[in-house]
Every structure is written in structure tokens, then in C-alpha cells.
Amino acid sequence: MLTIAYIGNGKSANRYHLPFALKLKDQIKVKTIYSRSGRQDWQPIEGVHYTTDINDIYDDPEIQLVVVSTPSHTHYAVAKDILNHGKNALVEKPFTETSEEAQELFALAKEKQLLIQCYQNRRFDSDYLTTQKVIESGVLGDLLEVEMHYDYFRPEVPTNVDHFSLDTSYLYGHACHTLDQVIAYFGRPDDVHYDVRQLLGKDRMNDYFDIDMYYGTLKVSVKSSYFRIKQRPSFVVYGKKGMFVKTDKDRQETDLKHFYMPDHADFGVDQPENYGTVTYMDDAGQYHEESVVSELGDYSRVYAGLYESIINGQPKLVKDEETLLQIQMLEQGISQVRH
């Protein structure tokens, strides 16, 4: 068994982590959850020790992995403390605020022969996995352009933030999902163009980004805004022979928000009306337009990967160089913020 503990007992831990760790009952034991305040706003989990004493984690030899689900500006300090106490660490995204901090953590983990990894659960989004399946089928031909959108209509969010900060920036808070998806699948781009904005004006929240990454002739774009009253498709892929459109995002988050948990067989499963559409010309010149049955998204695959890495010595799912590249891109993008 892989025995784990959590630092932080808020939405991140209870919505995006614990349901997926608890799903793997034969591999993972959740033992302890620490929070500084001791507040319990979520349903307590039977058999788990809740504490306000961090030493209940650090002094427990059974605990092998500690998950950091605290505010992003604390990630570096908390993760460093975990490593210095001889524990492996899984850190929510964004991993750190700077690439220098990330490099220091990776070096410290290597020195202590420990694992530290960023929690990139969005690698196991249904829409992302389905898009990969279509690309790899070859029906689109050579790829020309990929557009990835992560939109909301929540104008009250930027309106209620008076001053700019990394903690509240849309780039750090959301591009950490989509940039990782691009890096994981396409690798390091040849060139990057950043359009990062504060739509409400100077010293206000960063509430918009549009990042173009170039891989030879292929352009991959990640675009997000808080001011989209109708969301753009989650993925649009153009090739020389056709295109693929996946309008709806992965459903795991929607189900979680309704407290519909992964122990249901149909958790996160797309219905036919959620399927994407592929349109292409085949080698015989025939036109096709077909629905594509969605791949199954499953965030528990992150925890299954951690089990394999820590218990069985397998390579990490999220490579250090991928996390470093992403943080470097976030740094570069935010340095060019415009209003």
C-alpha cells in the first residue's frame, strides 16, 4: 500500500484529490489530513485522522507521500518542508511561482532520493484523450492547427479582484492546465507568442490569455477568458484532410460539483450528445462526418502512477523538465501582461 497524507483540507483536496485516491482501495491508504485552522467544511472521511498538528504527518513513519493542496504562493515552502522531513511530495498546480523555486525542489528531491511531482490531472481529461485518439487515427492528415479553449462567463471574478497578483492571475491559475496538456503531447515548442491581458485595466486581475506555440508548420493555441457568455469549443483540430471539434469539456468536474462521485459506474462519462465530430476526406475522395465516442477520463490515473513510481520504481508520469518548461512559460507570459 501507498500511505498518503494531505496538507490542506479545502476544495482542492476534497474535490480533485481525495475521491480519486480513495477509489484505489487496493493500492492507496489515506491516513492523515492536516489543516491549520481545523475547520471541517467537507464531509469527514471515515478512518482518516484529521489534525492541526503537522507533526502528526512528519513524525509518522508509515506516511510515504504528502499531497500539497494549499494556496499556490505557499507551494514552494510547504513542498520544501515535506522533502526536508523525508517524505515524497505531490504538489498542486501551479507547482511553484518561479522556475528557480521549481529547480531547487527537484534538486532537493534528487539529493534526498525522494519523489516530487506536480499534480497534472488534466492529462486524463476525456476531451484531451479523445482528441489524441483522433489525431493518432491519421484521418485528419498532417496537422496544421490545434485550438484549446477554457472559457467561463464569470465577470464577477475579475471585477471583485482590486489588484494584480500571481495568486489570482488567470494565467497561473488556468494555463497550468492547458499548457501542460500541450507540453505533454507535443513537447517543447520552437517558438511561443504570448497575449496576456488585464481587461479591466492597469493593476487589475489578469483575466485573459491567448498563447500560440509553434511546432514547425503546426500552431497550437491555448485561449481563455472570464468574459465568454458562450464558451468556445474545448478542442478544434485542423489537418490537411479534415477537422475535429469537441465542444464539451471533460465531465468529471461537473459531476464532482454535483457531489456525484467516482464510485458511480457512469461518473464522468460522456453521453452521445457530448461526443465530438470528425469531418474529413478519405484517400478515395469520399466525404465523412462522424461522431467520435469519447475516451474515458479518470483523474485516479495520477494516483495509480504515483503508486507505480513510489512502490515499484517506475518513471514519473510528469517529468521534471515538463514542469520546469511550464513554469518558465508562465513566468514569460506574465512578464508581458498588457492592459
H/E stretch holding 312 reads helix 300-312
Average the pLDDT over 46-71 and give the result.
Answer: 97
* Under 8 Å between Cβ of 18 and 30: yes
| CA 34 – CA 201 distance, rounded (Å) | 39
| CA 69 – CA 77 distance, rounded (Å) | 12
| CA 191 – CA 257 distance, rounded (Å) | 37
Which segments of 158-272 are extended strands (E)?
A: 191-197, 208-215, 218-225, 235-239, 242-246
* Under 8 Å between Cβ of 334 and 176: no
Where on the phi/psi map is residue 330: left (φ > 0), alpha (ψ -120 to 50), or beta? alpha
Given this model, what pLDDT does residue 39 score?
84
How buried is 210 (Cβ within 10 angstroms: 0-12 exposed, 13-18 middle, 19+ buried)?
Answer: middle
H/E stretch holding 322 reads helix 320-334
- Asked if the model's pLDDT at residue 40 lies above 90, the reply is no
Give 268-325 pLDDT, tens digit per residue.
999 999 999 999 999 999 999 999 999 999 999 999 999 999 999 999 999 999 999 9
Where on the phi/psi map is residue 14: left (φ > 0), alpha (ψ -120 to 50), or beta? alpha
- Asked if the model's pLDDT at residue 93 lies above 90, the reply is yes
Give the model's confidence band at 238: pLDDT under 50 very low, under 70 low, under 90 confident, else very high.
very high
Given this model, what pLDDT does residue 272 score?
97
Give 41-52 pLDDT, tens digit per residue.
898 999 999 999
| CA 63 – CA 33 distance, rounded (Å) | 11
Average pLDDT of the chain? Answer: 96
| CATH number of the structural domain 2-119 | 3.40.50.720
User: What fold does the segment set 122-298+329-334 form as a domain?
Assistant: Dihydrodipicolinate Reductase; domain 2 (3.30.360)
State the pTM of this model. 0.95
> At 246, is the secondary structure helix, strand, or coil?
strand
Cell of 318: 510528469
- Asked if the model's pLDDT at residue 60 lies above 90, the reply is yes
| CA 140 – CA 241 distance, rounded (Å) | 5
| CA 185 – CA 324 distance, rounded (Å) | 16
308: Cβ contacts below 8 Å, ≥ 6 apart: 314
Give 113-139 pLDDT, tens digit per residue.
999 999 999 999 999 999 999 999 999
- Asked if the model's pLDDT at residue 21 lies above 90, the reply is yes
Given this model, what pLDDT does residue 41 score?
85
* Under 8 Å between Cβ of 120 and 16: no
Taking residue 204's Cβ as centre, other Cβ atoms within 10 Å add up to 18
- Asked if the model's pLDDT at residue 339 lies above 90, the reply is no
Cell of 12: 482542492
Domain boundaries, the chain: 2-119, 122-298+329-334
* Under 8 Å between Cβ of 211 and 221: yes
Nearest residue to 186 (alpha-carbon basis) of 150, 225, 143: 143
Q: Nearest 5°: phi and psi at 311?
A: -85, -40
Taking residue 42's Cβ as centre, other Cβ atoms within 10 Å add up to 14
Cell of 171: 494565467
